[in-house]
Chains A and B, each alone.
Chain A
């Protein structure tokens, strides 16, 4: 383990296949021109970063079962609590870089060992893919042949997003479980979490196949020559890209052309979430208050830095009812558990200006709060969406009257989670919302309770991150009778039970 001193300059170490590289060759500067962290130059390390011989991956994992990986990761997970020096260090130095305030960041770091606990790891691998597909060949029920399939981990590049540390934890747990070879490019707004997680694994066993096939590093998007060389089908089979597949802000490459070149790009996000409240929510003052306390949880979670945070609330209400809802919602959002919601950090002046601009148009909008950069609730009284994107605990409430089905017409294709009240309305709207792009439905108040091992952004990430191989063989004449009896049994059990 490295020696952590808090003396500046802060250095992001790379870990390349079990080896830590400490060097302050390059620096990352913030928008104010200040140096945020130093890091090694990845270019001379290229041959260490890539896995040049892909068979090495199969060799190293040939006799490693998923259950053993779970044991290993769970042991490493015990070194990922905030009691450990490395996690404290990572959390501490992430603070100036993260959009999350200190208490929320700390709360997020507390989720990391939970992701690396045995129940969570098992849930991930069994719900998302099934460990039997990773550990061996699984036969398909065919009468005339033996058809077997198996999931292989691939050489994968991960572009992480940095909005919450749990992104790194989930990405790395998934990647380790499927026996992939992983190159992780960290985000400049969360560079240390992935390093700390891998360092914990390294502490348990620096020669474990998972560690030998894991690298964590950073390069700036301007380093296009390096990136072009790396992002080549010779070195990679998959790219899992958080923050979008458009090359996004983390890469200058055109992911579309990568896809054409044979690299599978799995694009995650960017997404945002909404709430829909039917008229039943407005039956009584006490009921509305209870509902506002729940939707406030959905809106304020991770200080709205998460894709699951609900930013637009569609309410089947009169303008007067919407004003009352906004007032209650605002109050609840100002009084939340500091582990996941607090005063926003660096409230943007542009957003402040937007709030002030709509505030003086009292016929169109009603603004609650937003005076001290604490967040706000903006009611669009006529139901017309203002044209700014709500962040930093600013919620937009849109009124509608009549059939709630009309809300589906107004859904943006980047919508991820929809919290719906009452539950009965969920069933009515579900298909129409899915058609508009929605990925997940929840009971209001539960956006943070993401089901581990469920599909994410309409994608089964672990399945998609594997290469699925089919092995077909025709039985020889000699083995025919036995083979057919076995098949008959197989088909019978497959179709009847």
Chain B
């Protein structure tokens, strides 16, 4: 009998050396991965009501092949399909019932009495053994990904391995950590830094965040609530929001303070940690703003060359500056800018190799679908909508369908030495690709509806 290419269960693969993980070709990975998908499906199908419902509808009782898997992917809408009124009316027991349909954990006995906010709700779920990640809700409403403690260890180890891909030996090293945002929280990036800030720094005082406060899910969602209430002329809800106005006041002052706080944060970084090896993680735009400012004031090569500078996330609607990586290297003094591509729905990010290609760890299965949702062959080079299956998911369903357009190379090596599937550095959101076409209608179409809501929201006077 041929021994399996990777031993044990996928969650244990996260401890394997990067060289082992990226030593397998697609044809070696596929049978192994398919077996584990079947295992997960068999385990979870009857225990996750939403998966059960989807499988029934699709007529899938056995994941015969990857095409069958492609019919079992959840879109991001699944994780935010709760009615927003549940949040507005603080019906957290109902929200829990909604979440219960997405996890194999039994939440039916959880007592939500006295829960008054999303933060409290998430805290109570944490205490019950859940490990829910929420999105930043750029579209307004937060998504909730029902992870549990079961996934936590693999998430930690997988993330360490992801960093090992850039900096071998990082598991045993402690570095001062700089993080230009909230100190902690339950949004994906915040979950990551809540754990890795102190863990990488070794000591709490060497973990430097821009703000001391945790990020609040309620803060983020507040703007959306205001829009909803204003658009409906719903005075009752506006009153409710005013009652929690203290929160909004904090946001307003936080926004006003941000410039000064940011300046102090980076001054401290440059002054007290000059030439030291540090860990710095932030969005490309944040890093670049500071770098350009720093270079203008004559600062350059601030940190030790082997510092770890990790970024990703694109330019979010801003125009990409051509030589941005050079600018970052020049200012921060790092040898390499480490790039990654990932999403809240996946436990680990895809690291970019020396050739700039995003490599997919064996516990993540990349699928490419065409416009109609038909899976494309899992060989050669395929461009289309990205779907993934995350084998690290053990208590929720790991199959997701993204809105990203990707080009996946299944069996042709990228040249960096790593094997397995890789994704080209040209990921685009379909929504960005499509842009806004000026279709004009007297019927209340979605975009006009949103414009209207924005307009109304913008009309709300800032209270002080």
Residues of B near A269 (CB, < 8 A) are 441-444, 448
State whether B439 touches A307 (Cβ < 8 A).
no
- Cβ of A414 within 8 Å of any chain B Cβ, yes or no, is yes
A248 to B141, CA, bound (A): 23
Of A189, A412, A436, A437, the residue contacting B440 (CB under 8 A) is A189
Of A357, A413, A437, the residue contacting B78 (CB under 8 A) is A357
A271 to B233, CA, bound (A): 16
Report A442-481 CB contacts with B as 1/0, cut-off 8 Å.
0000000000000000000000000000000000000000
Report A275-304 CB contacts with B as 1/0, cut-off 8 Å.
000000000000000000000000000001
- Cβ of A391 within 8 Å of any chain B Cβ, yes or no, is yes
- Cβ of A332 within 8 Å of any chain B Cβ, yes or no, is no
- Cβ of A419 within 8 Å of any chain B Cβ, yes or no, is no
Chain B: CB-nearest residue to A188: B438
Residues of B near A248 (CB, < 8 A) are 440, 448, 451
Of A163, A363, A436, the residue contacting B233 (CB under 8 A) is A436
Chain A: CB-nearest residue to B88: A384
Residues of A near B233 (CB, < 8 A) are 413, 436-437
State whether A356 touches B77 (Cβ < 8 A).
yes
Nearest chain B CB to A123 CB, angstrom units: 21
State whether B446 touches A389 (Cβ < 8 A).
yes
Q: How many A-B pairs with Cβ below 8 Å? A: 166
- Cβ of A399 within 8 Å of any chain B Cβ, yes or no, is no
Nearest chain B CB to A176 CB, angstrom units: 20
- Cβ of A104 within 8 Å of any chain B Cβ, yes or no, is no
Of B53, B141, B438, B444, the residue contacting A270 (CB under 8 A) is B444
Residues of A near B373 (CB, < 8 A) are 349
Report B394-438 CB contacts with A as 1/0, cut-off 8 Å.
000000010000000000000000000000000000000011111
Chain B: CB-nearest residue to A367: B57
State whether B440 touches A360 (Cβ < 8 A).
no
Given contacts A249-B436, A361-B98, A414-B452, A270 and B443 within 8 Å (CB-CB): yes
A243 to B443, CA, bound (A): 8
State whether A360 touches B75 (Cβ < 8 A).
no
State whether A167 touches B442 (Cβ < 8 A).
yes
State whether A242 touches B440 (Cβ < 8 A).
yes
Nearest chain A CB to B49 CB, angstrom units: 7
Residues of B near A96 (CB, < 8 A) are none
Nearest chain A CB to B268 CB, angstrom units: 42
Report A350-390 CB contacts with B as 1/0, cut-off 8 Å.
10011011111111100000000000000010101111110
Chain A: CB-nearest residue to B139: A387
- Cβ of A99 within 8 Å of any chain B Cβ, yes or no, is yes
- Cβ of B455 within 8 Å of any chain A Cβ, yes or no, is yes
Of B83, B447, B448, B449, the residue contacting A385 (CB under 8 A) is B83
Of A161, A361, A362, the residue contacting B442 (CB under 8 A) is A161
State whether A162 touches B444 (Cβ < 8 A).
no
Q: How large is the interface on B (under 10, 10 to 19, 20 to 34, 35 or more residues)?
A: 35 or more
Tell me the residues in window 25-54 of chain B with beta carbons closer than 8 Å to chain A beta carbons: 49-51, 53-54
Residues of A near B243 (CB, < 8 A) are none
State whether A187 touches B440 (Cβ < 8 A).
yes
- Cβ of A250 within 8 Å of any chain B Cβ, yes or no, is yes
Residues of B near A361 (CB, < 8 A) are 50, 81-82, 98, 101
Of B84, B141, B440, the residue contacting A162 (CB under 8 A) is B440
- Cβ of A54 within 8 Å of any chain B Cβ, yes or no, is no
State whether B444 touches A386 (Cβ < 8 A).
no
Given contacts A357-B75, A413-B231, A436-B233, A189 and B445 within 8 Å (CB-CB): no
Of A249, A356, A385, A409, the residue contacting B438 (CB under 8 A) is A249
Of B86, B234, B442, the residue contacting A243 (CB under 8 A) is B442
Residues of A near B438 (CB, < 8 A) are 187-188, 220-221, 249-250
- Cβ of A172 within 8 Å of any chain B Cβ, yes or no, is no
Residues of B near A384 (CB, < 8 A) are 83, 85-86
Residues of B near A349 (CB, < 8 A) are 371, 373
Residues of A near B82 (CB, < 8 A) are 361, 364
State whether A160 touches B443 (Cβ < 8 A).
no
- Cβ of A37 within 8 Å of any chain B Cβ, yes or no, is no
Of B53, B77, B80, B231, the residue contacting A412 (CB under 8 A) is B231
State whether B448 touches A249 (Cβ < 8 A).
yes
Residues of A near B440 (CB, < 8 A) are 159-163, 187-189, 242-243, 248-250
State whether B86 touches A270 (Cβ < 8 A).
no
Specify which of B51, B442, B449 lies most central, judged by the most chain A CB atoms within 10 Å of its CB: B442
Nearest chain B CB to A242 CB, angstrom units: 5
Nearest chain B CB to A309 CB, angstrom units: 7
A354 to B141, CA, bound (A): 14
- Cβ of A341 within 8 Å of any chain B Cβ, yes or no, is no
Report B45-68 CB contacts with A as 1/0, cut-off 8 Å.
000011101100100000000000
- Cβ of A246 within 8 Å of any chain B Cβ, yes or no, is yes
Tell me the residues in window 68-118 of chain B with beta carbons closer than 8 Å to chain A beta carbons: 74-78, 80-86, 94, 97-98, 101
- Cβ of B232 within 8 Å of any chain A Cβ, yes or no, is yes
A160 to B442, CA, bound (A): 9
Given contacts A357-B77, A436-B233, A99 and B444 within 8 Å (CB-CB): no
A221 to B440, CA, bound (A): 12
Of A268, A272, A305, A387, the residue contacting B84 (CB under 8 A) is A387
Nearest chain B CB to A224 CB, angstrom units: 13
Of A221, A272, A359, A414, the residue contacting B57 (CB under 8 A) is A359
Specify which of A30, A243, A309, A362 lies most central, judged by the most chain B CB atoms within 10 Å of its CB: A243
Residues of A near B83 (CB, < 8 A) are 364, 380, 382, 384-387
Specify which of A188, A411, A412 lies most central, judged by the most chain B CB atoms within 10 Å of its CB: A412
State whether B50 touches A360 (Cβ < 8 A).
yes
Nearest chain A CB to B58 CB, angstrom units: 10
State whether B447 touches A354 (Cβ < 8 A).
no
Tell me the residues in window 160-181 of chain A with beta carbons closer than 8 Å to chain B beta carbons: 160-164, 167
Residues of A near B442 (CB, < 8 A) are 161, 163-164, 167, 242-243, 268-271, 306-307
Nearest chain A CB to B370 CB, angstrom units: 11
Nearest chain B CB to A260 CB, angstrom units: 16
- Cβ of A31 within 8 Å of any chain B Cβ, yes or no, is yes
Chain B: CB-nearest residue to A309: B443
State whether A246 touches B451 (Cβ < 8 A).
yes
Of A246, A271, A388, A436, the residue contacting B443 (CB under 8 A) is A271
- Cβ of A209 within 8 Å of any chain B Cβ, yes or no, is no
Tell me the residues in window 118-145 of chain B with beta carbons closer than 8 Å to chain A beta carbons: 141
- Cβ of A244 within 8 Å of any chain B Cβ, yes or no, is yes
Residues of A near B86 (CB, < 8 A) are 384
Report B192-232 CB contacts with A as 1/0, cut-off 8 Å.
00000000000000000000000000000000000000011
Report A236-263 CB contacts with B as 1/0, cut-off 8 Å.
0000001110101110000000000000
State whether A307 touches B444 (Cβ < 8 A).
yes
Nearest chain A CB to B235 CB, angstrom units: 10
Residues of B near A360 (CB, < 8 A) are 49-51, 53-54, 78, 81, 101
Chain B: CB-nearest residue to A437: B233
Residues of B near A436 (CB, < 8 A) are 233
Residues of A near B444 (CB, < 8 A) are 269-272, 307, 389, 414
A307 to B448, CA, bound (A): 12
Chain B: CB-nearest residue to A410: B232
Nearest chain A CB to B14 CB, angstrom units: 29
A221 to B437, CA, bound (A): 10
Chain B: CB-nearest residue to A358: B81
Additional 9 contacts, C-beta under 8 A, given A163-B443, A361-B101, A387-B83:
A30-B437, A221-B438, A246-B452, A248-B448, A270-B441, A270-B452, A360-B51, A360-B53, A382-B83
* 12 A–B pairs (Cβ distance < 8 Å), ordered by A: A31-B437, A161-B442, A163-B440, A163-B441, A167-B442, A187-B439, A249-B439, A271-B444, A306-B442, A307-B441, A357-B75, A391-B445
Binding site for B on A (CB under 8 A): 30-31, 99, 159-164, 167, 187-189, 220-221, 242-244, 246, 248-250, 268-272, 304-307, 309, 349-350, 353-354, 356-364, 380, 382, 384-389, 391, 409-414, 436-437
Which 8 pairs show the lowest CB-CB distances between chains A and B? Answer: A384-B83, A272-B444, A360-B50, A357-B77, A163-B441, A353-B75, A357-B81, A187-B440
